Amino acid sequence: MQIKKILQISIVSILTIFLFSCKEEPKNSNPSGSVLDKSAVVDYSGLNLPDKPNIVWIVAEDLSPYLPTFGDSTITTPNISRLAKEGVTYTNVYSPSGVCAPSRAALALGMYPTKSGTMHMRTGPWFSFHVSDEQLKNYEVTTYEANVPPGVHMHSEYLRRAGYYCTNNDKEDYQFRCEMTAWDESSKNAHWKNRDGDEPFFAIFNFNLTHESKIWAHAKDSLLVPEDLDVPIKPYLPTTEVAKNDVRRMYSNVKLLDQKVGEILKELEDENLLENTVIFWYSDHGGPLPREKRTLYDSGLQVPMIIRFPNKQLAEQVDDQLISFVDFKPTLLSLAGIPIPDYVDGRAWMGKHANAEKRDYIFAAADRFDLKHDRLRAVKDKRFKLIRNYLPNQPYYLPVSYREQMPIMQELLRLDSLGQLNEYQAQWFRKTKDSIELFDTFKDPNELHNLASDPKYKEKVQELSEAMDKWIVQTNDLGMIPEKEYLAQRKSYFEEPQTATPKATNSEGNWVLDCETEGASIGFQWIGKDEKPGDRWQIYQGPIQNKEDKQLVVRAHRIGFKPSEFVVEE
């Protein structure tokens, strides 16, 4: 695939930059904390962990670093702040997408969404939740599963193979059906407490309390913050009372999240598990408000993260290295002592298989959102962000009905229709995009001043452009192909293909299993004569000794395929 760089800057863009350079941006009233002033070099080589530590992921949704730990003192979050006091705070963590399903695919696979085919929001059956039947009927593509390369497995499958008990409570949403063998349990009741013995566990708890939808869904609920709380408002948002109410709701939802974090910590303490468990707390992408979620600005990509290690090792330290979501899977496996698959795009920043080389850049993409297509790519070092807009004749703002249920979004649209937005609020509603955008995120954290045409930054534009081109080619960016064309090349939609039915052969009292579908996982269960198979599948890794009084049930599944038919052997 030949990738062409787009380096044209419109006259309008140049004039806009000139005008902005003559005006002072409104100060953000969000107070800065001391976390950024602390040492940002963390040495993980001295970590003293069990060979197979328990690992818990506490995952928030749609949350930027609006927390005391990261300098925002609008509210208190005692439990999250406790994690920071007892662990490491990470100040440069980014999702490769500003929306959840591609982000979760990156976490599970360790691959960029544009490489795994999970970049469009959404692809699978969840897509139909967000559009009407009439819209879906007239849409140019049907729903489908991302079809990843053979031999690619979810993060938890590797841990299960190594003896971990793995649970997910309970959101999946990976752009493909969850791998059949990925979890011991994935449900609203999934918990490490359900394991049979004392094997190590990997447990994910997803809390949607801070999700975009909770801005309007909880609108009539009582707030956990004062109704007249003076909240900081980003310069790209309106300052009307309607807008302030939604921002208060956002902070109230963070308070609810903090309570849930406290509950998980208490459960670990009550079971004497806290000090042999590594706890990750982070968000799936940036904030829920307009010009945050779904964008490639830091407001959409940057996430807060804290990791607490057993016995408070590395307590109160700050790590400012660049970390991408594709780094989570290799780091998870590295902490458990598991070799890292060659196909992952990320690097482990700690553990047995840590990569000492630090990241120079993080990368991100934005493509289709529900029924609206776009194509943007971003690359960022610690300070500068370059965004390339491949469809510059489209507006920055694309209407997404899901987002427009928020009163603050409705307020923006109302003020825009009346011509009452100021220059910073109105930027998002420009009818065309600058082909290239460059932002100094130290001086301009809200990314309002495009520096791309300033000769002073010519070398930085060239450096980041070259890094982006290299990334696009190396990852074979599937989002550069129109989605309909991509699907035509794949020749597969949601209802096909199906994983081949596995074969079971009994040799001298041992069952040997095989599946013709390349890269498929094979799961098995032992059940009684009158029992039906359950949801928990053991992963086949070698010959299975026969059980005379049981039936062997076998099924196979490859990500992006339908699971196979069942095989039952007496």
Catalytic residue numbers read 100
Instruction: Write out the two tokens for 129.
Output: 């939740």
CB-CB contact of 535 with 471 (8 Å): no
Which residues 6+ apart lie within 8 Å of 414 measured at CB? none
Secondary structure element (H or E) that encloses residue 54, with its range: strand 54-60
Distance CA 538, CA 522 (A): 8
Burial class for 526, CB neighbours closer than 10 Å (0-12, 13-18, 19+): middle
Q: Which two tokens stand for residue 210?
A: 């801070």
Q: Write down the H helix ranges in 327-391.
A: 328-335
Task: Answer for the pair 451, 386: CB distance below 8 angstroms, yes or no.
Answer: no
Q: Quick check: helix, strand or coil at residue 388?
A: strand
CB under 8 Å, gap of 24 or more: what pairs does 479-486 form? 479/113, 479/114, 479/119, 479/120, 479/365, 479/367, 479/375, 480/1, 480/3, 480/114, 480/375, 480/390, 481/1, 483/120, 483/140, 483/141, 483/367, 483/368, 483/373, 484/140, 484/141, 486/117
Report the distance separating Cα 64 and Cα 120, nearest Å: 22
Question: Mapping DSSP to helix (H, G, I), strand (E, B) and coil, where does residue 108 land?
Answer: helix
Cβ neighbours for 195, distance < 8 A, ≥ 6 positions apart: 165, 184, 201
State the distance between the two ends of the chain, measured CA to CA, in whole angstroms: 52
**CA–CA gap between residue 444 and residue 525 (Å, rounded):** 56
Instruction: List beta partners, residue 193.
Output: none
Give the three-state DSSP class for 488: helix
Q: What share of the chain is helix, strand, coil (3-state, %, to 5)?
A: 30, 20, 50
Positive or negative CA dihedral for 41, 102, 428, 482?
A: positive
